[in-house]
């Protein structure tokens, strides 16, 4: 019974994956259509068009082959518009890291201030409420116009979208530190700075980390869209470039890579959260 408890979930996962692949395979089985055009014409068009159909979704095997190709040679560089998937991922991660760290530098101090002062909270609130729901991509044309640089604009978009969850969570975490602890600090006549660093920060850390974890997820979602828009490098550009080529197999490879990296980033932040969590 204990064995089933331990192995049950992974087993079920594998079964689900296999079932999914089987359905996919069955759904995309190459149909043996009759060629409806003369051979000379058939040479000029794709195999599906020659049998009077539209080009089809790739089979799992085709995607697997493409994926294997990307995995075995992820860092090739054949010029500015043809680079390996590893290089694209590195560009995207670098952009996310830059925008995200900048956002943390700005959002956590402001969040602290807002959380500690009810006046600041009420003053900042209308701005946060208006700015928070704006889709980060809506900033893109504005950023391109004012910042005059597409690389900086992409980082800016990451910055602006990862700021709000961190800011709000920091403010919430700081403002909901237990009264008793603050009172103890007051009784001991602890200085304001010491109170912030030794009492409030450790108490609010798990909430702040949760905000940071939400932010990294959003940042990774947004970078793909932003790169599809500005192009050049990054995993978003990779997907766009393959869309341009209508290569669904490559797009699926890109999607898998995006999912894997997103999962890794999320797990990293989850580990960090565990480090600062304390038992009450």
Partner 1 sequence: MSAFQDPFDAGTALTRGCSCGNHRDQPEHDAELTHGGSDALASRVVDQAVMRALFPRDAERRRFLAAVGAQTALAAVAGLFPLAAAREAFAQGTGQIEKPNLKVGFIPITCATPIIMSQPMGFFGRAGLNVEVVKTAGWAVVRDKTLNKEYDAAHMLSPMPIAITLGVGSRPIPYTMPAVENINGQAITLSIKHKDKRDPKSWKGFKFAVPFDYSMHNYLLRYFVAENGIDPDKDIQIRAVPPPEMVANLRADNIDGFLAPDPVNQRAVYDGVGYIHTLTKDIWAGHPCCGFAASKEFVTQLPNTYRALLKAIMEATAFAAKAENRKQIAEAIAPANYLNQPVTVVEQVLTGTFADGLGNIQKVPNRIDFDPFPWHSFAVWIMTQMKRWGQLEGDVNYASVAREVYLATDAARLMKEVGLTPPAATTKKFSVMGKEFDPAKPDAYLASFAIRRTV
Which one among 243, 262, 266, 272 touches partner 1, defined by CB under 8 A? 243
SS3 per-residue string spanning 122-177: HHHHHHHHHHCCCCHHHHHHHHHHHHCCHHHHHHHHHHHHHHHHHHHHHHHHHHCC
- 241 interacts with partner 1 by CB under 8 A: yes
278 binds partner 1 (CB under 8 A): no
Q: What are phi and psi of 200, to 5 degrees?
A: -70, -45
Closer CB to partner 1, 157 or 228, in the complex? 228
Crossing angle of helices 201-230/248-276, nearest 10°?
Answer: 170
Answer yes or no whether residue 8 interacts with partner 1 by CB under 8 A: no
Cβ 246 to partner 1 shortest distance, Å: 6
Q: Are 103 and 158 in contact (CB under 8 A)?
A: yes
- Residues 6+ positions from 133 with CB-CB distance below 8 Å: none
The token pair that represents 101 in the structure block: 């760290």
Q: How many residues does the chain have?
A: 280
Should residue 44 be labelled a site residue for partner 1 when binding is judged by CB under 8 A?
A: yes
| Per rule CB under 8 A, count of chain residues that contact partner 1 | 39
- Residue among 108, 110, 144, 168 that touches partner 1 (CB under 8 A): 144
Q: Is 266 in the site for partner 1 (CB under 8 A)?
A: no
Residue 230 CB, shortest distance to partner 1, in Å, is: 6
How far apart are CB 151 and partner 1 at their closest, in Å?
8
Residues lying near partner 1 in the complex (CB under 8 A) = 36-38, 40-41, 43-46, 48-49, 52-55, 78-82, 141, 144-145, 148-150, 228-232, 237, 240-246
């Amino acid at each position: 019974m204990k064995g089933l408890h331990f192995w049950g979930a992974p087993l079920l996962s594998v079964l689900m994956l296999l079932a999914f692949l089987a359905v996919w395979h069955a759904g995309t089985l190459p149909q043996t259509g009759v060629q409806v055009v003369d051979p000379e014409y058939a040479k000029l068009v794709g195999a599906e068009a020659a049998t009077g159909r539209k080009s089809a979704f790739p089979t799992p095997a085709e995607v697997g082959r493409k994926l294997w190709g990307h995995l075995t040679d992820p860092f090739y560089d054949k010029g500015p518009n043809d680079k390996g998937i590893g290089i694209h991922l590195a560009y995207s991660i670098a952009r996310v890291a830059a925008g995200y760290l900048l956002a943390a530098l700005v959002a956590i101090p402001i969040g602290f201030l807002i959380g500690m002062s009810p006046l600041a909270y009420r003053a900042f609130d209308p701005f946060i409420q208006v700015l928070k729901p704006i889709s980060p991509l809506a900033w893109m044309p504005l950023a391109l116009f004012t910042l005059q640089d597409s690389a900086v604009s992409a980082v800016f978009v990451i910055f602006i979208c990862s700021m709000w969850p961190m800011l709000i969570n920091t403010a919430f975490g700081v403002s909901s530190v237990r009264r008793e602890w603050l009172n103890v600090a007051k009784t001991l006549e602890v200085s304001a700075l010491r109170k912030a660093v030794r009492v409030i920060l450790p108490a609010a850390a798990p909430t702040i980390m949760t905000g940071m974890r939400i932010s990294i997820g959003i940042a990774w979602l947004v970078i793909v869209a932003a790169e599809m828009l500005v192009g050049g490098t990054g995993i978003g550009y990779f997907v766009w470039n393959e869309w341009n080529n209508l290569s669904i197999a490559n797009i699926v490879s890109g999607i898998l890579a995006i999912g894997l990296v997103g999962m890794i980033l999320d797990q990293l932040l989850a580990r960090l959260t565990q480090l600062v969590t304390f038992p009450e």
